[in-house]
Structure 1
Amino acid sequence: MQLPANLKSTNPGRLIVVLGPSGSGKDTLMSYARDQLAGRADVLFVRRAITRPADAGNEDHVAMTEAEFDAAIDEGQFALTWTANGLRYGLPRTIEAHLAEGRLAVVNGSRGAWNVIQQVFPSAVAVEIRVDPATLAQRLQARGRESASEIEARLERAAALDARLEADVVIDNSGEMHTAGSALVAYMTRAMGAGRLSE
């Protein structure tokens, strides 16, 4: 995990970090929120750089090779980078200019990197997307990307990380997507110009 030289951002804007295990529906909920808030200049949905192909997964990300990622680090393009599940992730420095204007930014984060994200962006708030274990297992199986043992390992890791994370708000996405999506949009709307939020 690599921190920027200045370590801590003093930007007045607010960063919402959406956290949750693979299969919880983070990308789907963020896409729903993006559609609902389309045209608003005061909210930025951050595209992460990830060392995986552009057509892998559901997230709209900037695909990079390992060499391209290394070059981007050398050029100072990232506000923060981390590694998870064999992939490297980077948040672009453009997020800093947006937050400096006192605006809202939303990013798909990583529970393992949450503590460091907080160090760099003290105004960050965690929105945890939870799904009951049985539903999560069904979703992971339906994707067909992993074996039964790999899914079991994911579920165990998810439970361990859930136990350590103290989120500012928890959204249950075990049921209808639009219900959880509406809850995320409502939280984001309240966050625009609000102080530290919790529920």
Structure 2
Amino acid sequence: MAIETWADTAQPPGGAFIVLLGPSGSGKDTLISHARRELSGSSDVLFVRRVITRPADAGNEDHIAMTDAEFDAAMDDGQFSLTWAANGLRYGLPRSVEAHLAAGRVAVANGSRGAWDVICRVFPTAMAVEIKVEPEALARRLQARGRESASEIEARLQRASDLTDRLEADIIIDNSGQVEAAGAELTDYIRQARTGSISG
């Protein structure tokens, strides 16, 4: 399935932009929430709230909800660094990311593997954190949330495999087991980025 993307001009290099990539059901939002709790009070780390055209109470992500009309207006007003569309929804990364990175700080966002190329073009310091889950565990999670039919779940699993094959991640985190272990690994990676142990 093609993913439509839009981007403004590339931003100058700055702080590390950590972008989580992985299939739906891999637990990206859960891991981001874990890291946010562990790093609460760290003003140099921005956990980006994406703009999404879905209700605020849908899913587990702390996002900014907009209608399609509001999203169009925000685009016209230049409020996004980049946008993409997938699975019937539209996503946008707000301009606030640019100022934060320009100050040499660290930002963390839930991204999209289909939009990764354009993310890299806009943010040269972007680093891919691939969240992997064993296919059996991923299938169970997708079934448990009850949003898709069996055929839709199978299609998602196939897309997950296809996109993973094309992604060269900076780090791979396995979230097939306990979230605390994967969450600790992500938190440690963010801490390394803060101290300059890793860079984009």
Which TM-score tier does this pair reach, normalised by the shorter chain? over 0.9
- Contact in 2 for aligned 1:19/1:126 (Cα 8 Å): yes
User: Counterpart of 1:187?
Assistant: 189
User: Counterpart of 1:106?
Assistant: 108
For 1:66-93, what per-residue CA distance to the aligned partner results, in whole angstroms no more than 9, with x for missing partners?
0000000011100111111111100000
User: Counterpart of 1:146?
Assistant: 148
For 1:45-74, what per-residue CA distance to the aligned partner results, in whole angstroms no more than 9, with x for missing partners?
000000111111110000000000000001
1:2 matched to 2:6 = yes
Unaligned segments of structure 2, at least 5 residues = none
1:11: Cα distance to partner?
3.9
Q: Provide the TM-score with structure 2 as the length reference.
A: 0.95
- Contact in 2 for aligned 1:11/1:96 (Cα 8 Å): no
Unaligned segments of structure 1, at least 5 residues = none
For 1:78-134, what per-residue CA distance to the aligned partner results, in whole angstroms no more than 9, with x for missing partners?
011111111110000011111111000000000000010000001100000000000
Q: 1:51 aligns with which of 45, 48, 53?
A: 53
1:196: Cα distance to partner?
4.6
Q: 2:138 aligns with which of 136, 139, 144?
A: 136
Task: Read off the aligned partner of 2:7 and give its amino acid letter.
Answer: L
The 4+ residue runs of structure 1 with deviation greater than 4 A are 195-198
Task: Read off the aligned partner of 1:82 and give its amino acid letter.
Answer: W
CA RMSD of aligned residues (A): 1.2
Question: 1:73-84 residue pairs with structure 2 within 5 A?
Answer: 73-84=75-86
- Contact in 2 for aligned 1:11/1:100 (Cα 8 Å): yes
Number of aligned residues: 196
Task: Read off the aligned partner of 1:117 and give its amino acid letter.
Answer: I
Question: 1:160-179 residue pairs with structure 2 within 5 A?
Answer: 160-179=162-181
Q: Provide the TM-score with structure 1 as the length reference.
A: 0.96
Q: Equivalent residue of 1:90, what SS? A: strand
